[in-house]
Amino acid sequence: MNKNKESLHLSSPAINTHMNKRSQIWAAFRSAFPYTIPIFAGFLFLGIAYGIFMHSLGFSAIYPIIMSFMIFAGSMEFVAANFLLGAFNPMNALFLTLMVNARHLFYGISMLDKYRGTGKKKLYLIFGMCDESFSINYTANVPADVDKGWFMFFVTLLNHLYWVAGAAIGGIFGSYVKFNTEGLNFVMTALFIVIFIEQWMKEKKHYSALTGLVLSVACLILFGGNQFIIPAMLAILGVLTVLRKPLEKAEVSV
């Protein structure tokens, strides 16, 4: 009896911290979820479009499900579908992926500080750092009493789930879709235009946004659609490096 009591007593602090942790995680989930609602609709829509797209190419539903789960990079999955239809060339697939997804390098650099101190969750945060998770986690104002690590974890996880769910629905029910889906892929363009406007309205100075836009267009004209990303990234990097001194000066004086 006595022994039992003692063990109960001993375990209660552990239970307490356990409960605290759970309520902390729950609080993070609750504040993260609203941020993902637009992505819920967007990704379900996009994911379904992707699933239908894969179906129209003749792939069974398991392809979009596995690919959306493991790659979790929207535009790349559309490109990957084309790899699967062409001749077997794994090195080409790797290099094209590196080129198309090279922008993630910039996301990573932007998130170095924000992902710091998130423990084991960091691995998943980096794994799931798609365009949308990055832009939410970068721009969201997390309340001070909410654990930032868990907040970003749930943003990433929910987005991942929406995407896989959408791809699964599109892949499985793609054959029932009778309407003409030509042009549905514009939903991605629209999404990034909206994120661009949001970011534009949030910032005071637009040097960086304009640099990105103008140099990307210039490189697209110079190098063509299949080869412009790397030159555009290098040009952006170069110009922003040159602008560092004047930009930081301006920031101090404001």
Partner 1 sequence: MTMTMTQQMITIAMVVLGTMLTRFLPFMIFPSGKPTPKYVQYLGKVLPSAVIGLLVIYCLKDVSLLSGSHGIPELVGAAAVVLLHLWKKNMLLSIAGGTVVYMVLVQLVF
* Residue window 43-62: x/- pattern of binding to partner 1, with contact defined by CB under 8 A: --x------------x----
Which of 6, 33, 203, 250: binder of partner 1 (CB under 8 A)? 203
Alpha carbon distance 190, 212 (integer Å): 17
Q: How many CB atoms lie within 10 A of CB 144?
A: 6
Reduce the DSSP state of residue 191 to 3 states and report it.
helix
- Closest CA relative to residue 137, chosen from 157, 163, 167: 157
Half-sphere exposure of 170 toward its Cβ, with a 13 Å CA cutoff?
A: 29
> Does residue 34 bind partner 1 (CB under 8 A)?
no
Beta carbon nearer to partner 1, 100 or 146: 100
Q: Write down the least CB distance from residue 233 to partner 1, Å.
A: 7
Q: What is the DSSP letter of 129?
A: -
> Does residue 135 bind partner 1 (CB under 8 A)?
yes
> Does residue 199 bind partner 1 (CB under 8 A)?
yes
Question: Which window, 4-12, 21-29, 87-95, 140-148, contacts partner 1 (CB under 8 A)?
Answer: 87-95
> Does residue 196 bind partner 1 (CB under 8 A)?
yes
Question: Which window, 26-34, 40-48, 150-158, 164-172, contacts partner 1 (CB under 8 A)?
Answer: 40-48
* Residue window 99-128: x/- pattern of binding to partner 1, with contact defined by CB under 8 A: --xxxxxxxxxxxxx-xxx----x---xx-
134 in Cβ contact with 107 (< 8 Å): yes
Q: Write down the least CB distance from residue 211 to partner 1, Å.
A: 5
Exposure b/e, 194-233, CB count within 10 A at least 16 = b: ebeeeeeeeeeeeeeeebbeebbeebeeeeeeeebbebbb
Q: Give the footprint of partner 1 on residues 161-180 (CB under 8 A).
A: 180
By residue count, the chain amounts to: 254
Question: Which window, 1-9, 134-142, 146-154, 166-174, contacts partner 1 (CB under 8 A)?
Answer: 134-142
Which of 138, 147, 173, 231: binder of partner 1 (CB under 8 A)? 138
Which of 3, 12, 34, 182: binder of partner 1 (CB under 8 A)? 182
Alpha carbon distance 97, 32 (integer Å): 30
Half-sphere exposure of 20 toward its Cβ, with a 13 Å CA cutoff?
A: 8
> Does residue 143 bind partner 1 (CB under 8 A)?
no
How many residues bind partner 1 (CB under 8 A)? The answer is: 98
Which of 25, 29, 56, 71: binder of partner 1 (CB under 8 A)? 71
35 in Cβ contact with 135 (< 8 Å): no
